[in-house]
Each structure stands twice: as structure tokens, then as C-alpha cells.
Amino acid sequence: MAWKTLDDMDLNKKRVLVRVDINVPMENGEVTDATRIERIVPTVDHIQHAGGTVILMAHYGRPKGKVVPEMSLEHIAGTVAEVLGWPVVWANSDYRDAVKELEGDEILLLENLRFNPGEESNDPAFAKRLASLADIYVNDAFSAAHRAHASTEAIAHLLPACAGRLMQEELSALENALETPKRPVTAVVGGAKVSTKLDLLGNLVAKVDNLVIGGGMANTFLAAQSKDVGKSLCEHDLADTAREIMTKAEAAGCTILLPTDVVVAREFKAGAANEVVSADACPADAMILDAGPAAVAAINAALEASETLVWNGPLGAFEIEPFDAATNAAAAKAAALSKAGRLTSVAGGGDTVAALNKAGAADDFTYISTAGGAFLEWLEGKDLPGVAALKG
Ligand code: ADP
Ligand code: MG
């Protein structure tokens, strides 16, 4: 591992600046889901118990470099204290005085970093100001690691730096899934469009043994094989790109699994009349909304034979029943294999977490990343600035 963890740091009597993601949903001034705060507990507890003083820094919303009172972290300081179980003091922009006044076990929560334009511009001066508050820097916000901001990038070069527990857990899960995985590795990539996942597909075909393509994006691949996809969501102009990906996969020894049968309907709505047809027999006036049972059987067989799974994107229009069937069935299979210790499964991305939760499968996956953008960029094989900076 090229990055340090809390175990490598002497935290006793040190001020520790911890970048966290506590961008929690709020309604009428109340936090409606405190999951993101719960997930930083291990890092905060470790530092506090090791005799360090925690200074939390985070962003909230998109204030774009200006003070937007509704986006002040003062509003969630109470919830942060409750969830963490430590006294929390909120600091406006007079960080220095607030640090000096800290007493006993108190944790300091700095005001929304993005109120300062220097945060998003990765301004060295702002990073220096933050760094001057502490002795050690800890990044526990993997979900913000794809952005080169003052609190994720510049600052890591100014203080002894390490990954927090959540960052450590996330990086380990991702490394186990793609950098040093047990083979065979299967990737399931679904979702709406090929165009948003070109880099991801290009990176994965070079790294995995099987690539299952599902969802709307499978239609583009079927069309590229001269199959009629009727009125399906399909990017016909990407036929050449789809063929290039298939050629690249073949050269890399990656088997692409496209659906051999599909569920078609005339209407995009819950309970719409539907039928299962062969993947080359979509009626001209119908659209493909899910993978069929034979396709699911082939995916499940691939999962049975795999050691590792990386999953991003649903296999069908999972929000409307019964077009969630393929996603649910494959998710249940992956969950069961993971629970039995036969599969290491890592999933993440925008709608993926919702789809796996809806399938009731998320709990049994080995790891579910809640970091949308950062997870996708990592699947694309990109260097995440916040992670790269931790490597020194
Ligand atoms: P993710 O956010 O998981 O990376 P996307 O945002 O690319 O994935 O795609 C998710 C969306 O794709 C869902 O809203 C789903 O309904 C839609 N989708 C999946 N399969 C189809 C299909 N065959 N036709 C139309 N929409 C589909
Ligand atoms: Mg999405």
C-alpha cells in the first residue's frame, strides 16, 4: 500500500485536520439521513482515543465560493455531535481563535470550505491557512477525492498525511476488486447510455475476464451487431465505438456478455404489457426494457464461476416493475455468493446503490461504495487527485 493510514501516525497531543464528507440530506433544517456522519465515527474515535484533537473540515452543497447562510455547517453541528458522541464546536471563518479555545475532548467543525473560493481552485494560500491549524492531515472523504481542491489535494503536500478509516476501507475494497483481484473477475456494467461510460468500458475490458453489458447501453451494442432494437433507448451513432470496444475486449481476452433474450414493451411505465423475445427479435414498435431470463441465467453462471465482481449500473429500467427483474435476480445471486464467501463483490455509482437496495441485496455485497463520481472515475482508471496526493 503506497499510502499511510492512521496506524502509521503518532497522534498523541497532535491537532489532526480531517477532511470528511458530511454532505448529508436536509429537510426543513433537519438532517434526514445521517449515514455519512456515521461513517466517519471510526476515524474520529481513533484520533480522539489516541490523544489527538480532531478538526473536521468539509463542504456542503455548492455555494460556489460565496457565503450562503443556508449552507452553513453550523446547521448540522448538533447532529454531528450527537452521532459522533463527542462535544462539537463550530467555527466560522476565524479558525485560528477557535482552535486556540478548544478544551478537553472538544472537536472543531470548520465552516463550509466552499464558502472560500480557494477551496475549489486548489489555492495554495488557502491550503496553507488550513494547514497552519494542525500537525497532521487525514483524508477520510473518498467521495471528494476525484476533485483537486485545497482540502483534498494541496493540503496533503503541506502536512504529514494519511488516509482515514473510511478512505482506507474504500481504497482497499477497490484495490481488491481491480488492482490485485482474485480471478476470474466479472464486471457488470449497465445503465442508460454508452456515451457516459466510454472510458469506464475501455478501462474495464483491459482488466476483467468477463464484461456483462446490460441496461440501455446493451441496446447500442446489439444495434452495432446489426440487430433491430425497435424503439429502444439506443445510441445508434455510437455503433462504431461499440464495435471498437468489442474488438479491444477480444484482443485483451475479455469475454463480453450481451443479453441473448430481452423483455420488450410498448410503453415505458410500471406494469406495461410485456413479452420476452430473442435479442434479435425486438418488434419495430417495441422497446427493450430489461434483460430476459436466459440472459440472467448466463450472468448468474458467470458469477458462479467468478471470484470477484465489480458492478455499476442496473440491467434494466429498474425503477418500474416488472423491468427490475433481471437486476434483482443477478443482484440476489451476487449477494448470495458473497454471503457464502464465494465472491468478493464491489458495487457503486449513481443509481446502482438504489437499484441494489431496492433488490434487497446491498447488505450482502462485500462493499458498496457510496462515492458516486469518485467511484466512477476510479473505474475509468483515472488517478484520483485526493488519493494520489496521499501517496506523497
Ligand atoms: P448509474 O447511475 O448506475 O451509473 P445510469 O445513470 O447510466 O447508471 O443509468 C441508470 C438508468 O438507466 C436508470 O434510470 C434505468 O431506468 C435506465 N435504464 C436501464 N435500462 C434501460 C433500458 N433498457 N431502457 C431505458 N432505460 C434504461
Ligand atoms: Mg445515474
Q: Which atom, in ligand 1's list, is nearest to the CA of 214?
A: 20
Q: What is the pLDDT of residue 370?
A: 82
Distance CA(313)–CA(291), nearest Å, equals 13
For 23-47, how does the pLDDT look when each residue is reduced to its tens digit (9 = 90+)? 999 999 899 999 999 999 999 999 9
Give the CA-trace dihedral at 222, 226, 231, 236, to 10 degrees.
80
For 49-58, how does the pLDDT look when each residue is reduced to its tens digit (9 = 90+)? 999 999 999 9
Confidence band of 96 (pLDDT split at 50, 70, 90)? confident
For 150-162, how does the pLDDT look when each residue is reduced to its tens digit (9 = 90+)? 999 999 999 999 9
| Average pLDDT estimate for 243-247 | 97
Please confirm, yes or no, whether 61 is among the known catalytic residues: no
pTM across the whole model: 0.91
| Average pLDDT estimate for 315-322 | 97
| Average pLDDT estimate for 292-314 | 98
| Phi, psi at 363, each rounded to 5° | -60, -30
Residue whose C-alpha is closest to residue 223's, from 243, 193, 201: 243
Strands (E) located in the chain: 15-19, 26-27, 30-31, 53-57, 88-91, 107-110, 136-139, 161-163, 185-189, 210-213, 255-257, 261-265, 274-278, 287-291, 308-312, 344-348, 367-369
Asked whether residue 129 carries a pLDDT value surpassing 90, the answer given is: yes
Look up cell 431470463; give the residue. 293
Q: How far is the CA of 321 from the centre of ligand 1 (A)?
A: 14
For 260-288, how does the pLDDT look when each residue is reduced to its tens digit (9 = 90+)? 999 999 999 999 999 999 999 999 999 99
Asked whether residue 218 carries a pLDDT value surpassing 90, the answer given is: yes
Please confirm, yes or no, whether 29 is among the known catalytic residues: no
Q: What is the pLDDT of residue 2?
A: 83
For 359-372, how does the pLDDT look when each residue is reduced to its tens digit (9 = 90+)? 999 999 999 998 88
The closest ligand to the CA of 351 turns out to be: 1
For 164-181, how does the pLDDT look when each residue is reduced to its tens digit (9 = 90+)? 999 999 999 999 999 899
Annotated catalytic residue within 4, 129, 193, 248: 193
From 196, 221, 318, 378, give the residue whose CB has the most ligand 1 atoms within 8 Å, as the site to mutate. 318
> For the chain, how many residues are written?
392
Q: How far is the CA of 350 from the centre of ligand 1 (A)?
A: 10
The closest ligand to the CA of 375 turns out to be: 1
Q: How far is the CA of 300 from the centre of ligand 1 (A)?
A: 20
Please confirm, yes or no, whether 52 is among the known catalytic residues: no
Helix, strand, coil percentages in the chain from 3-state DSSP, rounded to 5: 40, 20, 40
Q: How far is the CA of 233 from the centre of ligand 1 (A)?
A: 10
| Average pLDDT estimate for 230-257 | 97
Q: What is the pLDDT of residue 1?
A: 58
Number of other residues whose CB lies within 10 A of the CB of residue 86: 17
Distance CA(228)–CA(181), nearest Å, equals 37
Burial class (CB in 10 A: 0-12, 13-18, 19+), 14: middle
Is the CB of 288 inside a 6 Å radius of any atom of ligand 1? yes
Each as own residue / partner, the long-range contacts of residues 265-273 (CB below 8 Å, 24 or more positions apart, any chain) are 265/289, 265/323, 268/317, 268/320, 269/320, 270/320, 270/321, 271/321, 271/322, 272/320
Decide: helix, strand or coil at residue 3.
coil
Percentage of the chain with pLDDT > 90? Answer: 94
Is the CB of 292 inside a 6 Å radius of any atom of ligand 1? no
The closest ligand to the CA of 380 turns out to be: 1
Please confirm, yes or no, whether 114 is among the known catalytic residues: no
Annotated catalytic residue within 15, 19, 36, 358: 36
Q: Which atom, in ligand 1's list, is nearest to the CA of 317?
A: 16
Distance CA(71)–CA(61), nearest Å, equals 6
| Average pLDDT estimate for 348-353 | 89
Q: How far is the CA of 103 from the centre of ligand 1 (A)?
A: 50
Annotated catalytic residue within 350, 372, 381, 382: 350
Q: What is the pLDDT of residue 349?
A: 87
For 325-344, how does the pLDDT look when each residue is reduced to its tens digit (9 = 90+)? 999 999 999 999 999 999 99
Q: Which atom, in ligand 1's list, is nearest to the CA of 219?
A: 23
Strands 344-348 and 367-369: parallel
Percentage of the chain with pLDDT > 70? Answer: 99
Is the CB of 313 inside a 6 Å radius of any atom of ligand 1? yes
Q: Look at ligand 1, atom 7, and give the residue with the nearest C-alpha.
A: 191
Distance CA(300)–CA(51), nearest Å, equals 49
